[in-house]
Amino acid sequence: MKSYTNTTLGFSLNISVPSDASEFDQLAGRVGACVEEANANIIYRGWNAAFREAFADALIKSTGIKRRLDEKAMAKASKRKDGSTPEIFESAGSYFEFVKATEGKETVAYQDLAIEVAKSIAFDPKPAQRTGRVSKELIAAAESIIAKGADALEKVIGRLNERNGLNLTLSDDLTIDVEELARAIGVEQARKLAEMQAELCD
């Protein structure tokens, strides 16, 4: 076993975790458990999100029904450097429910489309900076960091740049675009997850 530092509720806590896949499998009580859990984790944290967004885009193209803006989320969002408000669309799930209600169809009616979209989404455990819509959770995390002030923000940006090869910079008024910071936080989360899975399954 080895010590793993986990951060939650503002605390840094050391947890005793398996040091390799064999140890993980032994604790789980079955052979191959580590790889199964790693696969499930990547699908849950990465593949599912990619599928939802790709499926929503496919629905827009096939139905012509536009995805609505999330007015409540936009009202809470920080302004961009130019003073404009970032566009935050409703979740893919909310949009799908809207499409079904508009067309008067059940989920099964879109099964073929879902299968086609799924074929286009590769299983990829590598951490990567996403270019699609930013989740509400990451936006909230970025806003929280920005609210702490320039000193804390500069420290966070330095760490994100060093750990992930990014090039985040503060503007002249010592702030940063909330979406840009949110995406960088997402990269950091993906990197940590990939490192832990790689260590466990090595």
Q: Where are the domains of the chain?
A: 2-131+192-201
CA dihedral (36, 39, 43, 44) in degrees, to 10, reads: 50
DSSP-derived letter for residue 4 is E
What pLDDT score was predicted for residue 25? 93
Average pLDDT over residues 154-182: 82
**Across all residues in the chain, what is the average pLDDT?**
84
E strand residue ranges, the chain: 2-8, 11-17
Distances (CA, A) of 48 to 52, 57, 117: 6, 14, 11
Q: Which residue has the tokens 């896949």?
A: 21
Above 90 in pLDDT, residue 59? yes
**pTM score over 0.85:** no
The span from the CA of 190 to the CA of 19, in Å, is: 20
Which secondary-structure segment (H or E) carries 164?
Answer: helix 150-164
The span from the CA of 85 to the CA of 186, in Å, is: 21
Above 60 in pLDDT, residue 130? no
DSSP-derived letter for residue 173 is T
What pLDDT score was predicted for residue 167? 80
Least trusted range by pLDDT, from 23-27, 76-80, 180-184: 76-80
| Main-chain dihedrals φ then ψ at residue 11, nearest 5 degrees | -100, 145
Distances (CA, A) of 116 to 46, 81, 189: 18, 39, 29
